Amino acid sequence: MESLRLRLHPLPLPLLILLLAILLGMGSIGEGEARSVMTGGVEELVERDPRGMPLRLAGRGQAVEEEEEEAAAGLSQTACPTKRLPYDPNPVRGQLDPTLYNPEDAMCLLRSLFIVSLDELRADPSFPPGFLRLAFHDCMTAGGGCDGSVLKPAELNSPANARLRRLSNITLRIQSRAAAMCLNVRPTLADTIAVAGDVANVLSGSPSGISMGLRLGRRDADPNLPGDNATTLPSPFDPFPVALEKMIRLGLTVEEATLFTVGGHSIGTSGCGAFRRRLSANISTCSSPPDRDLQPAYACQLSTICAQPAARADFDPATPLLLDTAIFRLLLEGKGLLTTDQDFFTNFTTRPFVLKYASLEGSLSFPTDFVAVYVKHLRIGINGPTSRPPASYCLTTAEQASSSSESSSSSFSSSSSDAASQIESLLLSTLQAVF
């Protein structure tokens, strides 16, 4: 792998990103097809560059320069692809809908959603944990499952989703920018959230779910319905058996619920309101917290943090930006931030799985185990009776104009050495995962 690193490092960022797109595409094609691609069909895998500008494809006659000028002005005349198969009138709940996109459009959107999400999420260290939560909150409600309804006002305005409201416009921007890279074919919000959450995991040190079966095919919630009931989400205020039962009822095993909840809390922060009741009301008596499962010295640290207005505390103060197993070991020390986090250790049913991932062996299997559960949870309740296919296969003219404006003002910079280094790292990890 070191020789590969030396060959990749000098490449300009746009080429590195195109290689990443190619590798992501490889994850969903067979060995024979991959061999064919490597021997001469590479250009057919790349529809658009990361700015949303068209690239020349085999058999496409327009000059690249002309297409770039048209796209930059929001005047691209490229026709919307013809939807070849009618939407399935009775999709199977819990399974991806193969009629949602043309196969080549699904491939393009999977790559473009990944690349655009990478561009958007790397702008702020709070975005990866936020988008991981967004996917969880979309999928883990009783009713519709992963259907994009978390962005509907009725769900988004729930107190449980208060911290996710700021991600709404970013999600819509990812959706429209990704569409612009694929002849304006519209990805569903559910698929957009699913891939953005995968990128959140990758930016936090995990492998991509694309190498573990993450694909597109989730319909969005019926636009005429209000969405799901956000109060059915597992809550830090739920008694532990209730929170655990909510996840099991949706299809996770006890081990998967432990892994996904505790592991997911290895990144991100919580407002003090979610755990203040565990602390002493008087900071001078912080070492005697009401919650005896909370380590006294840690309780004093939290009391000091929460003395500040609107303060937030890291779920995992050891490695707050990495999806890893440090948080499992913190639970062994009584340093779970939320009552429900600590309960995964104190409860006899879930304790063996906390001990598993606190061990060296568990820490080695954690990255792939976690992503496998992430990919599994992305199919909870999908394409059920409250979902609908999109009204139009491609973005409308107004949406295309908005997408062009958003793309031109995005944070992407082809001269960014930090981004180039990040892309190179992702290329190497994807190579390892796919091959």
Q: Are residues 290 and 351 in the same domain?
A: yes
Mean pLDDT of the chain: 81
Within-domain flag for 213: no
- The pLDDT of residue 90 is 95
Residues 372, 422 share a domain: no
Query: Is 145 flagged in the annotation as binding?
Result: yes
Distance CA 122, CA 412 (A): 10
Kindly state whether residue 434 falls inside one of the protein's structural domains: yes
Distance CA 186, CA 399 (A): 10
Written as six digits, the tokens of 115 are: 């690349």
Is residue 324 annotated as involved in ligand binding? Answer: yes
Residues 425 and 315 in one domain: no
Q: Are residues 341 and 423 in the same domain?
A: no
Q: Same structural domain for residues 337 and 433?
A: no
**Cβ–Cβ contacts within 10 Å for residue 142, how many?**
15
Residue among 373, 250, 280, 271 nearest 313 (CA):
271
- 384 is an annotated ligand-binding site residue: no
Question: Range of 426's domain?
Answer: 1-51+417-435
pLDDT of res. 59: 30
Give the C-alpha separation, 126 to 35, whole Å. 39
Q: Determine, yes or no, domain membership for 311.
A: yes
- Taking the whole predicted model, whether its pTM rises above 0.95 is answered as no
Q: What is the pLDDT of residue 68?
A: 32
- 381 phi-psi bin (left φ>0, alpha ψ -120 to 50, beta other): left
220 among annotated binding-site residues: no
pLDDT score of 47: 38
Q: How far is CA 367 from the centre of its chain?
A: 15
Q: How far apart are CA 266 and CA 315, in angstroms?
A: 6
In a domain, 150, yes or no: no
In a domain, 153, yes or no: no
Tell me the sheet residues that pair with 388: 220
The whole-angstrom separation of Cα 415 and Cα 167 is 27
Are both 434 and 365 inside the same structural domain? Answer: no
**Is residue 115 in a domain?**
no
Q: Looking at residue 284, what DSSP letter applies?
A: G
88 is in an annotated binding site: no
Question: Do 426 and 333 belong together in one domain?
Answer: no
Domain-embedded: residue 79: no
Six-digit token string for 43: 């250009």
Other Cβ atoms less than 10 A from the Cβ of 149: the count is 28
The active-site residue, picked from 137, 218, 278, 376, is 137
Q: Within this chain, do residues 358 and 432 fall inside the same structural domain, yes or no?
A: no
Q: How far apart are CA 280 and CA 286, in angstroms?
A: 5
User: What's residue 397's pLDDT?
Assistant: 80
What residues of the chain score a pLDDT lower than 50? 1-15, 17-19, 21-77, 411-417, 419-420, 424, 427, 431-435
Same structural domain, 435 and 367: no
The DSSP bridge pattern shows strands 220-221 and 312-314 to be: unpaired
Residues 371 and 428 reside in one and the same domain = no
CA proximity to 171, closest of 188, 193, 201, 154: 193
Number of structural domains found in the chain: 2
Coil, helix or strand at residue 144? coil
265 annotated as a binding-site residue:
yes
- Phi, psi torsion values for 162, nearest 5 degrees: -55, -40
377 is in an annotated binding site: no
- Is residue 154 in some structural domain? no
322 and 433 share a domain?
Answer: no
- Look-up of token digits 């694309």: 210
- CATH number, domain with residue 301: 1.10.420.10
Claim to verify: residue 369 and residue 312 sit in the same structural domain = yes
Answer yes or no: is 191 a known binding residue. Answer: no
9 is catalytic: no
Residue 110 and residue 28 in contact, taking contact as beta carbons nearer than 8 Å? yes
Instruction: Find where tokens 């303060």 sit.
Output: 311
